[in-house]
Amino acid sequence: MAEALLTARGLTRRFGGLVAVRDVDLDVREGEILGLIGPNGAGKSTLFKLIAGILRPTSGTVTFAGRALAGERTAAVCRAGIASTHQIVRPFRNLSVRDNVLIGAYFGRRPRPPHERARQIADEMLATCGLSERAQSPASTLTLAGLKRLEIARALATEPKLLLLDEVLAGLNPTETDATLDLVRGINARGTTIVMVEHNLRAVRGLCSRLVVLVEGRALVEGSPDGVLADPRVVEAYLGTAHA
Amino acid sequence: MRNRLLWSALALAVALALPLVAPHAEYLLDVAFLVLLYGAMATGWNVLGGFAGQVSFGHAAFLGIGAYTAALLVAQGWPIWATALPAGALAALYSLIIGWPSFRLRGPYFSIATIGIGEATRLVALNWTSLTGGASGLTLSSAPSPVVQYYAALALCCAAVGAAAWIQSSRFGFALAAIRSDTDAAETLGVDTTVAKTQALAISAFILGVSGCVYAMHYLFISPDSVFGFSTSISLVVMPIVGGLGTVLGPLLGAAIFTVLREQLEANFQNLDLLVFGVILCAIVLFEPGGLLGLTNGLRRRWLKRS
């Protein structure tokens, strides 16, 4: 078994009386594509935000490549090697597509790369994500599919060891979905570990090496995609007891 | 790029030669001085308000601290030029103290907090009579000649615009542009947004502080209501917006229009200036958010397309 790149233990986050994430243990292995699935409101995005440092955990620890991360600021987590995309795209609308990616290349890691190197990284990531032709356009002129790819390109420009993808397929048509799946596969093939939150179960089944199902804030089931999706507890969580 | 360098050199040559060409045109020199001083102040405000998008309605605080520092040091026997650096440094130091709590607030909430900071600072200056002389203000005994004042303002303005140009083209400027657009997204890409905002505020406050020194050198009398006044803070917001928010030369352009217009209005229609500025501000925000630079760039593009 490959070594765990990221380990979360007893991760809990409360919002007042609501416990969004409850005592979650999670191991992300080096080189895998781990799918995080579960019904709406299960706490998937909250778990992502806890790992990315956008939210602080109420309790629990996150260890990444041997370093304790829980409680670190978002920028520090990014520079430690965890990049994330936003579920609802958040481009820098007044900057060009290329400058959006340059921000990631300039600031995403320490030591900061020199200008030439940063530009080179940005151009590579634009090419990887199929955005080279739109490099000089303002980010506000991209379609939703383009903006989703821009989110990925920006995150990749920080040269992460671990990439968190939050519903990058949502809102895409079948052609765009297939292109994005190929993109994610390509990124993983080049050595980046990926954790993705996704509702598209067909895509998840084809892409992920392992799944974790989150239900009401708890990690309910974990295992290979086929095994997990056939598990009666998972079917029940998605469809109700009548189908289980 | 070479074109821009050429134009800058030309403008600088004209500015340097102005006192020699027009040695007796005191009024012209006075207006030019004010344009340069207000241009520097607006450029300083724009580093935080334009580049980083953190709109402050309290920047008079930094001008006032600079002006009072200069006046108090001159009273201790310092030559006025030597007070420029301490004036800027003290303003920057003060900005660090107030930046730390106020940057926990975002967007409009930050702006509202700056109103409070500006007014609180004015009230302290007004009531700390033993240090500031309270409402009766401070008076400097002697002023440098108008030509020396003019060159001081020119040096200040060039330094401020130069700093702004450098920031805009630097990695730091990139961070500020990202913060202006989406602070949270910038943070997830590794930008230390609080640090970058604090740095922008300190640079901004430093420029305002040095401007305070030049202000004191010119007016010779400073009081809480003049340098710390809310209307000063407001004009610091108006000038960059009129000229072009977040651009290098927009604030200077806005300052030129603001100063010349105010001189004319004060001479001919007293108390009408606020109304006129209000109308101009509304028109720009509604029709051309890029300011006058945005307007001229748009016209030039249209003209180029036609020809």
Per the rule left: phi > 0, alpha: psi between -120 and 50, beta: everything else, A92 is beta
- pLDDT band per the 50, 70, 90 thresholds, residue B277: confident
Q: Tell whether the model's pLDDT for residue B141 goes beyond 90.
A: no
With a cut of 70, say whether residue A241 has pLDDT above it: no
Beta-bridged to residue A63, according to DSSP, are A7, A68
The ipTM of this complex is: 0.88
Average pLDDT rounded to a whole number, residues B164-185: 95
Domain with CATH 3.40.50.300 in chain A: 4-81+160-243
Burial A127-147 (b: 16+ CB within 10 A, else e): ebbbbeebbeebbeebeebbb
Matching residue, tokens 């028109």: B283
Contact B38, B258 (CB under 8 A): yes
Are the beta carbons of B175 and A90 separated by less than 8 Å?
no
Interval A179-238: pLDDT, tens: 999 999 999 999 999 999 988 888 888 899 999 999 888 888 888 888 888 888 888 887
Q: Which long-range contacts (CB under 8 A, 24 or more apart) does B269-278 make?
A: B277/B235, B277/B238
**β strands within chain A, DSSP E:** 4-15, 18-29, 33-37, 59-64, 67-68, 82-84, 162-166, 193-197, 210-215, 218-223
The per-residue pLDDT for B305 is 77
Residue type, position A104, single letter: G
Residue B203, domain member (yes or no): yes
- What's the CA angle centered on A153, arms A150 and A159, to 5 degrees? 155
Number of domains composing chain B: 1
d(CA B250, CA B292): 7
Whether residue B139 lies inside any domain: the answer is yes
List phi, psi (to 5°) of A66. Answer: 85, 5
Interface contact A158, partner B, CB < 8 A: yes
Looking at CATH, the fold of the domain delimited by A4-81+160-243 is given as Rossmann fold (3.40.50)
Tell me whether residues A90 and B182 touch, CB distance under 8 A. Answer: yes
DSSP state, B54? -
**CA-to-CA separations, B70 to B128, B137, B140, B206, in angstroms, rounded:** 17, 13, 9, 13
pLDDT of residue A1 exceeding 60: no
* Minimal Cβ distance to A78: which of B175, B177, B190: B190
Phi and psi at residue A214, to the nearest 5°:
-105, 125
A74 close contact with B: CB closer than 8 A: yes
Q: Which of residues 119-148 of B touch A (CB under 8 A)?
A: none
Which residues in chain A have their CB less than 8 angstroms from residue B169's CB? none
β-bridge partners, A82 = A162
CB contact under 8 A, B189 and A103: yes
Residue B2's pLDDT band (cuts 50, 70, 90)? low
Contact A91 B191 (CB under 8 A): no
In order of A178, A217, B20, B255, the CA distances from A175 in angstroms are 5, 33, 71, 53
CA A89/CA A158 separation, integer angstroms: 17
- The tens digit of pLDDT for each residue in A34-61 reads 999 988 888 999 999 999 999 999 999 9
Q: Where do we find the tokens 């299960």?
A: A42
Inter-CA distances, A188 with A2, A191, A203, B295, Å: 15, 5, 15, 47
pLDDT of residue A2: 57
Distance CA B190, CA B158 (A): 33
**How far is it, in rounded angstroms, from Cα A126 to Cα A153?**
6
Of B151, B162, B161, B159, the closest CA to residue B33 belongs to: B151
CA distances from B261 to A142, B36, B232, B244, B255 (A): 42, 15, 16, 17, 10
**Domain containing B90: what range?**
26-237
CB-defined contacts A:B, below 8 A: 74
The answer to whether the Cβ–Cβ distance between B188 and A79 falls below 8 Å is no
Beta carbons within 8 Å of B301's beta carbon, 6+ residues apart: none
Tell me the pLDDT tens digit for each residue of A112-132: 889 999 999 999 999 999 999
Q: Taking CB atoms and an 8 Å limit, are B174 and A106 in contact across chains?
A: yes
Q: What share of chain A is helix, strand, coil (3-state, %, to 5)?
A: 40, 25, 30
Region at A223 (left for phi over 0; alpha for psi -120 to 50; beta for the rest): left
Long-range contact set of residues B140-146: C-beta below 8 Å, sequence gap at least 24: B140/B71, B140/B74, B140/B80, B140/B216, B140/B217, B140/B220, B140/B221, B141/B74, B143/B217, B143/B218, B143/B220, B144/B80, B144/B217, B146/B26, B146/B29, B146/B30, B146/B33
Would you say residue B267 lies in a domain? no
Task: Tell whether the model's pLDDT for residue B75 goes beyond 80.
Answer: yes
Q: Which among A37, A25, A32 is positioned nearest to A5, based on CA atoms?
A: A32
In whole angstroms, give the CA distance from residue B267 to residue B5: 37
Residue A163 above 60 pLDDT? yes
* Cβ–Cβ gap B174/A90 under 8 Å: no
Q: How far apart are the first and last CA of chain A?
A: 32
- CA-CA distance, B307 to B305, in Å (whole number)? 6
Structure letter (DSSP) for residue A202:
H
Q: Is residue B108 part of a domain?
A: yes
Asked if residue B21 is part of any domain, the answer here is no
Distance CA B86, CA B206 (A): 10
Q: What is the average pLDDT value for chain B, to the nearest integer? A: 91
pLDDT digits (tens, 9 = 90+) for B6-40: 888 888 888 888 887 766 678 888 899 999 999 99
Which alpha helices (H) appear in chain B, and where do they start and end? Answer: 2-21, 26-46, 60-75, 84-102, 107-127, 129-132, 146-169, 171-181, 183-188, 193-219, 224-227, 230-243, 250-268, 273-287, 291-306
For residue B218, the distance in angstroms to the closest alpha carbon of chain A comes to 40
Within an 8 Å CB–CB cutoff, is residue A122 touching chain B? no
| Domain-located, residue B173 | yes
Instruction: Please list the residues that pair with A214 across neighbouring strands.
Output: A219
